[in-house]
Amino acid sequence: METPHGPILAASSASESAQEKPGFRTKTIATRITPDELREVEAAAEKSGKTLAVWLRELALNGARERPADPTELMLAELSSLRYMLLNLFHASASAQTEGKYLLPESVVKIRDKAEARKLADARKLLTDFLAGEDRAGGQK
C-alpha cells in the first residue's frame, strides 16, 4: 500500500535460522497505512469474501505477474476477436436461416461477449505458436 511517504516494506521469515521449505509461505511483507486506509482495505477484503491476508496476497501477486501491454499482442487480439465474431455470426446466421428462423439479438451479444473474453488468450496462443515455429525452423519461418 502507498502512504504519503511511500511504501514501507519489510521481508522476514518465521524463523531466520529455519531453512526455507519449497511451497511454504515463510516470508512476510509489511507496509504502513492510516487507520482510514486500513478500514478501506478490510472492507474490500470482506466484500470479496476473503481474509485480509489472502486478499492482499492475491492482489500483490496479480500485480507482480501482470504483463506489460504489447502493441503487437493488442492488435492481434483485436483481429482474433473480429475473426471469431465473423465466423460465429456467419455460422449462426446460416444455421438460423436453414431452420427458417432469425438470428436473435441475444445471440449476437453472446458471440460478441465470448469474443471479447477470449481475445487476449487467443492472441497470446497465436504468438506463442508462431514464435515456437520460428525456434524450430532455426530462427526462420
Residue 32 dihedral angles phi and psi, to the nearest 5°: -100, 135
The 8-class DSSP code of residue 129 comes to H
- Please give the Cα distance from 118 to 110 (Å, whole number): 12
Q: Is 57 exposed, middle or buried (0-12, 13-18, 19+ CB in 10 A)?
A: middle
CB neighbourhood size of 77 (10 A): 22
Q: What's residue 19's pLDDT?
A: 59
Give the 3-state secondary structure of residue 12. Answer: strand
pTM of the full predicted structure? 0.49
Q: What's residue 21's pLDDT?
A: 64
Q: What's residue 139's pLDDT?
A: 53
Averages of pLDDT over runs of 10 residues in the chain (141 residues) are 44 48 84 95 95 94 82 92 96 95 94 95 91 72 45
The 8-class DSSP code of residue 18 comes to S
Q: Grid coordinates representing 60?
A: 500483490
